[in-house]
Chains A and B, each alone.
Chain A
Amino acid sequence: GIQVEQSPPDLILQEGANSTLRCNFSDSVNNLQWFHQNPWGQLINLFYIPSGTKQNGRLSATTVATERYSLLYISSSQTTDSGVYFCAVEGVMETSGSRLTFGEGTQLTVNP
């Protein structure tokens, strides 16, 4: 199946700093989503972005499908941005079922 690698695994920032999280995937994708898992364990949809660029407030994401990677940008980080960020993909070659394959996540800690 498709492989998903996220980097860095851990990131510690001071409030106000900017950051870039990366997601590499091993095959062409139909679907790519970014999630934020908050301290209560909930998965919050951030972006549905199989290709192109999107922005939502301080967050933006870019997927370069031909080069098999996606980037999540967080600007002017706040303590509430802390948590784990997951990238999840559905590979084109998946036979059926539309399963999302998740990466291991990036643990972000934003200090005041």
Chain B
Amino acid sequence: EPEVTQTPSHQVTQMGQEVILRCVPISNHLYFYWYRQILGQKVEFLVSFYNNEISEKSEIFDDQFSVERPDGSNFTLKIRSTKLEDSAMYFCASSVVWGRSYEQYFGPGTRLTVT
């Protein structure tokens, strides 16, 4: 069964460093998402992406964050200058069709630790 994959599974970085989290969505999916989950808290939406542009972003997704689809398969989340509070699990998701009544499939997550 097709699945969303994410790399790395765990990344440790120092405060102020740039990190890039990578995702390979399911191959025929067209809509991509990033969510994050701070330890012990609920999952929060960051951004959605379609047709090579951001469709929606949350208030969390400030200028430190960017997303890109550099080729036909990868979808990346970049954090330019990491802060301690960016430590979280980051989930990528994809869906076949825009929004209305279509299931989102989640990857296994990347656990980011900022020291």
* Residues in A lying within 8 Å of B, measured CB to CB: 30-31, 33, 35, 40-43, 45, 48, 50, 86, 88, 90, 94-105
Alpha-carbon distance between A41 and B88 when the two chains are bound, in angstroms: 11
Q: A residues within 8 A CB of B35?
A: 100
Interface range for B: 20 to 34
Decide: A30 near B101, CB < 8 A? Known: A42-B109, A97-B55, A97-B56: yes
Pair A101/B106 contact, Cβ less than 8 Å: no
Alpha-carbon distance between A97 and B108 when the two chains are bound, in angstroms: 22
Alpha-carbon distance between A56 and B33 when the two chains are bound, in angstroms: 26
Q: A residues within 8 A CB of B106?
A: 35, 43, 45
Alpha-carbon distance between A3 and B104 when the two chains are bound, in angstroms: 19
Decide: A43 near B102, CB < 8 A? Known: A97-B56, A99-B56, A99-B58: no
Alpha-carbon distance between A31 and B96 when the two chains are bound, in angstroms: 13
Q: Can you pick out 30 interface pairs between chain A and chain B where the beta carbons lie within 8 Å of each other?
A: A30-B99, A30-B100, A31-B101, A31-B102, A35-B106, A41-B37, A41-B89, A41-B109, A41-B111, A42-B109, A45-B105, A45-B106, A48-B103, A50-B101, A86-B42, A94-B99, A96-B55, A98-B95, A98-B99, A98-B102, A99-B33, A100-B33, A100-B43, A100-B45, A101-B45, A102-B42, A102-B43, A102-B44, A103-B42, A105-B42
B87 lies within 8 A of chain A by Cβ: no
B75 lies within 8 A of chain A by Cβ: no
**Interface hub of A33, A86, A100, A103 (most chain B Cβ within 10 A):** A100
Alpha-carbon distance between A103 and B111 when the two chains are bound, in angstroms: 21
Q: Which of B73-103 contact A (CB under 8 A)?
A: 89, 91, 93, 95, 98-103
Residue of A at shortest CB range from B97? Answer: A98
Contacting residue for B109 out of A30, A43, A101, A102, CB 8 A: A43
CB distance from A84 to the nearest CB of B (A): 9
